[in-house]
Amino acid sequence: MNSPTYLVTGATDGIGKATALALAEQGARVILHGREPRKLESTLEQLRATTGNQSLHAVLADFAALDQVAALGERVRTDFPGLNVLINNAGLLTDHWQLSADGFEMTFAVNYLAPFLLTQMLLDTLRASAPARIVNVASTALGGGRVDFGNRQLEQPFDGWQAYANTKLMNVLSSHHLAGRLAGSGVVSNALCPGLIDTNFFHTNTLFAGGGYERLKPGMRPPGEGALVPLYLAMDPLAGEVNGAFYVRQGRDGRRAVELDWDPVVAADLWARSLANLGRWLAPGAGG
């Protein structure tokens, strides 16, 4: 791809920031998303100063409020019609039950509904910019996930890790389902697990208190290494020929595709229910 434009969500911390930095170092045009104005502006200034790349831009939206996600999608469609790569990285891990601005369980809203909505809103832009890519940062935690339509809100009892695993499974199911819908369009959709990476996830809640973080830390890698698989799917020419895959890290710099025993019927049901949940924010007839 010649001078592609990338949108990285959750670009002010961890893997997202490391991904945006690596793209900026390559001279790419990068749109950094964040939810805190001061932190977003600080990150933008830092990356410009560090890389000398002035083709960096900032867009603000809180993924816990779907009105803001929709506004983000509209802005990107208007201001960046040449978007080539969407990297859905922003995520949440919480230790307590809470509702989003729209009445959804917060993990479900931020980790799943928000990137689903943003992706839907940008599909036509990506098709028009083909070859284009959608990169979904998920996790092998999906192995413990459930798509339970009867207990989506997880009110009783709430388990933050279970909520996270559920959304990572949903991310991958939707990524696979979308890949099928995009076949032949010049746009590919793939998902990945970046590995066990030392990010703020482990410091912003009590899920890893009592020595849990300390036990995991020897096996953790820095955010820069966590960005390696997303960068491969976003930039490598070979990855542009792959559609509907799930990648995991292999060693420090490698990666491999993993076959998942995913149920296309469940994925299609999840897709339809997601569109129904987001109907008020989507144009009539939207759905990939």
Q: Is 6 a catalytic residue?
A: no
Residue pair 235/2 in contact (Cβ under 8 Å)? The answer is no
Backbone angles phi, psi at 221, to 5 degrees: -120, 160
The DSSP secondary structure of 121-132, one letter per residue, reads HHHHHHHHT-SE
- What would the two tokens of residue 121 be? 């809103």
**Amino acid identity at 3:** S
Distance in angstroms (rounded) separating the CA atoms of residues 278 and 260: 27
The answer to whether 227 and 19 have CB atoms below 8 angstroms apart is yes
Which of 230, 187, 195, 191 has its CA nearest to residue 23?
Answer: 230
Those residues whose C-beta lies under 8 Å from the C-beta of residue 173, and which sit 6 or more positions away, are: 147, 262, 266, 267, 270
Q: Is 188 helix (H, G, I), strand (E, B) or coil?
A: strand
Task: Please check whether residue 182 is in contact with residue 190, taking contact to mean a CB–CB distance below 8 angstroms.
Answer: no
The DSSP bridge pattern shows strands 246-250 and 254-257 to be antiparallel
Question: Given 164, 213, 232, 247, which residue is catalytic?
Answer: 164
Distances in whole angstroms, Cα of residue 216 to Cα of each of 109, 175, 210, 229: 27, 29, 12, 21
Residues with catalytic roles: 164
